[in-house]
Structure 1
Amino acid sequence: MELSITTPALLFPAISLLMLAYTNRFLAMASLIRSLYDKYQTDPNQKHIIEQIRNLRDRIRLIRSMQAFGVVSFIFCVVCMFCIFKNWNAAAYIIFALSIIAFIISLILSLLEIFLSTRALEVALSDMEELK
């Protein structure tokens, strides 16, 4: 396979859009945490609020890791382009492979975060069911 300078550049838009989605998730999570914190301050004896806070803590950690691996993938793409520019083909292939691996890890972590977010929704729904 021929690795040209445009090959790692193809990942730029994908990684950028993914990072934007991760940032939006993080901002939504921060808003939710602040509102839960306010609810907890007014009534710390609410039944499922502690469980939701634990879930949010795990999700924040996952989002941080997702973002970190996305950034690492982006950096590897740039370094790969530099290696191609310098005709360091063996290094370019290895670094491009590392970039793709970091991208895959970021996507897997994103999938795990989605599973955790659905668990949080189930907690909220069970809380509403108990109110009836």
Structure 2
Amino acid sequence: MNIDYTVTALMFPAIPLLMSVYSNRFHSLSILIRQLHDEHVYEKHIPPEWKKQFINLSGRITLLRWTILFASFGFLFNMLTVFALYLDELFIARMIFGSCCLSMIISILFFIREIHISTNALKLHMSDMDVDVS
């Protein structure tokens, strides 16, 4: 495969967009955690599934941290690919770009897992509501 600036340019809009999605998700999660914290500490209100929610949120934070970390590495490797191409180091550019793609794949896999856990959390949250959906 020939690698040039065009190939690496394809990643430039995708990576920041993904990182923005990840950051928004992290921000929403942090708001939820702060709300639960305030309920627990200040209002002394403990939801019935508090322990399960805490474990779930803790796992989601960890997954999002790894998701954002690998996306950041993907962006870094993409920039290093451009730099290697600038230096006319084609073999090194290919290796670094491969690392970029691998980092992004890992990041997306972590994100898919986080979405799966998030969906299960919503089901758990809705489990105490008695609603007939017909």
TM-score normalized by the length of structure 1 = 0.92
AA aligned opposite 1:5 = Y
TM-score normalized by the length of structure 2 = 0.91
The structure with the largest helix share of the pair is 1
Q: Which residue of 2 aligns with 1:73?
A: 74
* CA–CA distance in structure 1, aligned partners of residues 128 and 40 of structure 2: 15
CA distance 1:34–1:74, shift in 2 (3 Å): same
Q: Percent identity?
A: 36
Q: CA deviation at 1:95?
A: 0.5
Q: CA deviation at 1:45?
A: 4.2
Q: Which residue of 2 aligns with 1:51?
A: 52
Report the RMSD for the aligned CA atoms in angstroms: 1.2
Q: Which residue of 1 aligns with 2:112?
A: 111
Q: Which residue of 2 aligns with 1:16?
A: 16
2:53 and 2:121 in contact (8 A); partners too: yes
2:125 is aligned with 1:124: yes
Q: Which residue of 2 aligns with 1:7?
A: 7
2:27 is aligned with 1:27: yes
Q: Which residue of 2 aligns with 1:93?
A: 94
Gaps of 5+ in 1: none
Gaps of 5+ in 2: none
Q: CA deviation at 1:44?
A: 5.1
Deviates more, 1:78-87 or 1:41-50: 41-50
